[in-house]
Amino acid sequence: MAVSYARARLTTEDDRRYRAFVEQFKLQRKNQKAIRPPRQRDIFGGQAEAALRDWLATHLTLDERRILEYEERRNRTAQIKYRELDALTIVDGTAWVFEIKASRTASALRRAVAQLNETRQ
């Protein structure tokens, strides 16, 4: 079962297709289980990500198009998917993608590396 990717494009959080995808995802999730309130570590993680993105912006020109839309092809079917990039800058036609994690565990770093590797594909 080979997986391939095609038709990648960068977009913003207010993109019409992305917003429809997010709303559909929320609806599916709501129908499956109760949504718990965010935990303290979730709130801290979001705050840390925003602070680091602000710091990066003082040193780099960050691209506002932080949503990666792509087509995932598997078993002769294609599905449009989205990935939120924590921070993105494009220098001389090369994309620099930043994955920000706030954690005390090595497993979080391994997840970040896996996310970056998948984004590279």
- How many domains are contained in the chain? 1
The pLDDT of residue 33: 66
Compute CA 35 distance to the chain's CA centroid, rounded to the nearest angstrom: 20
Mean pLDDT confidence for 69-73 = 94
Q: Which residues contact 12 (CB under 8 A, 6 or more apart)?
A: 18, 64, 65, 66, 67
The SS3 assignment for 5 reads strand
DSSP string, 84-98: E-SEEEEETTEEEEE
Residue 31 pLDDT exceeds 80: no
pLDDT per position as a tens digit, 99-109: 887 777 888 77
> pTM, whole model, 2 decimals?
0.77
| Residue that the structure tokens 């602070």 belong to | 51
- 52, with CB counted inside 10 A (0-12, 13-18, 19+), is middle
Rounded to 5 degrees, φ, ψ at 64 are -75, -20
Name the residue range of residue 17's domain: 3-120
Q: What DSSP character marks residue 78?
A: E
Q: Provide the token pair at 78.
A: 């294609």
**Paired tokens of 118:** 């998948």
> Greater confidence, 70 or 38?
70
* Higher-pLDDT residue of 103, 76: 76
What pLDDT is attached to residue 78? 93
